[in-house]
Structure 1
């Protein structure tokens, strides 16, 4: 006997990786490349403006933190907008915002106040790109390669962008000044037509919106071998409400999970931006050359992608994401501790690379873990809030790092704070469980159930 409705969640989860998946992965990787690039390039501005603008160490930290203030607002608000108006249009608006204000930063940021103001406005767009790309790709990822596919589609772009910021800092800024960082960033303008052309709406969001024709069209592109079945059978309707309030994340089934994820993200991003924001300056103070000091930041981004892939593969194969994330955070804490205790070129190189591998790499998997832990109707809001709360830590990391260096006259206290925050993240992620008895990585359990059409 053949069933009579299409279970959209199961169709997506059981799909083989096809041409459409690859195309969407490339588009999202390019989106997050510009996000990662723009997020980390202020670290390479400090060297050029601290003297001319007469900045204290705390103000220098604010150069990095200012964009994260806007990111916090964008990440907190975008989820509600994306869950109401759609993933596609919200991503496009975020990309336009980031592009326009990158150009304006290169043109008009001629003082500390102007730079910070423009960075806050740029951050409103950045607050959309990474979290919403994470939500989008997790809604399309086949179950058996969920983390690996999402990491290739998002983490690769973001890490490549962060590495590119270091490369541009070394090779371009000596000739153009720090403004060259933002002229390169404005090349995101070239990506906008491709996003308009190739990025469809998320089929799960289209399902919630009741647009069955669009759902079937997207499914047929993702799984062309089943296009005939999609034309014959109706789409199963989700038997759930469409509430997307942030307060829904604190309802009883999700309260413990949400608080633990938010705490972990806060501490993780405190470490990431505290270390990444100061790594070029820190390494110059340790005796590294200008080029090598900037290259340390790029190497952290490269190793972060490798760390994310390894962690994501282990999660896909063995499950238990909380334990793998805990191990990655502890590895990050250990690498920073060694950086405190020993001073040599090789210690600087290996420990900064391992910090990127563990701390930044683990954050990518935490983003995917968050997306997989909530239903479609609230997923974008959940990821947005995770990164919005996390950005509080990201804002404080560079600022507190500068303050600790100024008070204690060196980097030891700052690195100790980062080490303790990484250990705290390892502890908090273990508490990230639902109270209903459903496993937090069981995305299928959170989806509305419909009847499957027969395969074959």
Structure 2
């Protein structure tokens, strides 16, 4: 065989230009994570309507926000075990189905604190599949040179738009139709889940691990149609198939243990900050004398700015071929913005600091997702991303509860702002400590891990 007839599958994916199928897959992932972001953030707009009728103290209201994140933790922790065995596609479809069913059930059955929280846990199990696995899926198809940027467009845009949409529905529809309308709108995921079944292909690296070369040839030809004739007859160089030991222990082997533990710490602190802040921002801003519409609008503002910030951080990471320093700078700046809210008040200050918290604090999380996906080999990648977000979701669960408890104990939000701001700065210090590790400082280019 000549060199022209031997194809390295990883190099073909990494060296591709963005084509129509890349864009189409990005749109599907964005739509999927839109429902994730929408459903994740809409409980913040439910509190205003149910806290009084259900007699909730601030700590209980925090649990109302956190209940879905408990399910998310379960889904994120376990989905990789399925995705690395039965495929990304089937697992994503299953996550969408679970999410859709229990989103529809929430306005029908969730009319007490206990029933609402139970349904949120069940919905969260499906949501726990979508964001981490969509990140893994699109990272495995992203061209190397724009890995972070492409992933943020494909995953971060949808998640941010979903959070923004929750704010828009909260501001304009809940005053007329009650909190239930948030979930009637969310049930639009049902027709999307049906459409996804017909259009979503399997991930090429997963097909490669399974030796399904005929399917790889077809999908490669769709991704790079100018080389379709070559793919029909070429010898494909596939990743070496590894034994299925892609459990948590594989993430804690000596070669990757430090990177794994540092990522887990950063994820815990990042999501503690994100959900502690976003879950309470509408309520806190009303206490700061902002109007109802403006207070709910702060949630949408954070989501819009988070996408812009994530895109900027990802672009910088791609230019540097490393995300360690950009991530640290984003988290540190976001932490300072939140700390500022503890010492200054006023409409302009509120807008500027909340926008900065979204741009830097939440924006960094998108790049951390891609950093994690690129830190592991294909055989354990979905497990690695899922465990990162699962550990992070422990922080996300604690965030709203701790934030509510701090407000209850100290009679205001300042202690909450100090705690969240400091946690963000500690996350920055943690990610900086990865300098010199074998993978952690390198994989931030996303697909670089398989180049």
Deviations 1:286-322 (A, max 9, x none): 0000000000000000000000010000011122311
Aligned to 1:307: 309
Q: Distance in 2 between matches of 1:244 and 1:231?
A: 32
Correspondence for 1:34: 35
Unaligned ranges ≥5, structure 2: none
Q: Is the 8 A contact 2:278 2:299 kept in 1?
A: yes
Superposed CA deviations along residues 227-259 of structure 1, whole A, max 9, x for unmatched, are: 111101122132352331121000011100000
In the alignment, structure 1 residue 114 sits paired with structure 2 residue 115: yes
Offset of residue 188 of structure 1: 0.5
Alpha-carbon distance between aligned partners in 1 of 2:241 and 2:110, rounded to the nearest angstrom: 48
- Mapping of residues 35-74 of structure 1, within 5 Å: 35-74=36-75
Q: Note the 1:319-398 alignment, pairs <5 A.
A: 319-398=321-400
Q: Distance in 2 between matches of 1:26 and 1:241?
A: 31
The answer to whether the 8 Å contact 1:65/1:396 transfers is yes
After TM superposition, list the pairs within 5 Å mapping 1:106-255 onto structure 2.
106-242=107-243, 243-255=245-257
Q: How many residues were matched structurally?
A: 448
SS at match of 1:235: strand
Deviates more, 1:189-198 or 1:167-176: 189-198
CA distance in 1, matches of 2:26, 2:403: 35
Aligned to 2:442: 439
8 Å CA contact 1:29–1:152 kept in 2: the answer is yes
Q: Secondary structure at 1:51's aligned position in 2?
A: coil
Aligned 8 A contact 2:107 2:180 in 1: yes
- Corresponding residue of 2:430: 428
TM-score, structure 2 length as denominator?
0.97
Cα distance, 1:335–1:435 mapped onto 2, change above 3 Å:
closer
- Aligned-partner Cα distance in 1 for 2:447–2:35: 31
Per-residue CA distance 1:50-86 (angstroms, 9 max, x = gap): 0000001000001110000000000000011100110
How far residue 432 of structure 1 moved from its aligned partner, in angstroms, is 3.4
Say what the alpha-carbon RMSD is for the aligned residues: 1.3
Question: SS state of the match for residue 15, structure 1?
Answer: coil
Aligned pair in 2 of structure 1 residues 213, 175: CA closer, same or farther (>3 Å)? same
Question: Do the aligned residues in 2 keep the contact of 1:333 with 1:423 (CA within 8 Å)?
Answer: yes
**Equivalent position SS for 1:393:** helix
**1:304–1:356: 8 Å Cα contact kept in structure 2?**
yes
**Which residue does the alignment assign to 1:405?**
407
Q: Deviations over 1:202-230 (max 9, x none)?
A: 00100001100111111110011111111
Q: Tell me if structure 2 keeps the 8 A contact 1:370–1:383.
A: yes
Question: What TM-score comes out, normalization by structure 1 length?
Answer: 0.96
Report 1:271-290 matches (<5 A).
271-290=273-292
The alpha carbon displacement at 1:433 in A equals 5.7
Distance 2:71 2:163 in 1: 18
Unaligned runs of 5+ in 1: 450-456
CA drift at 1:435: 4.5
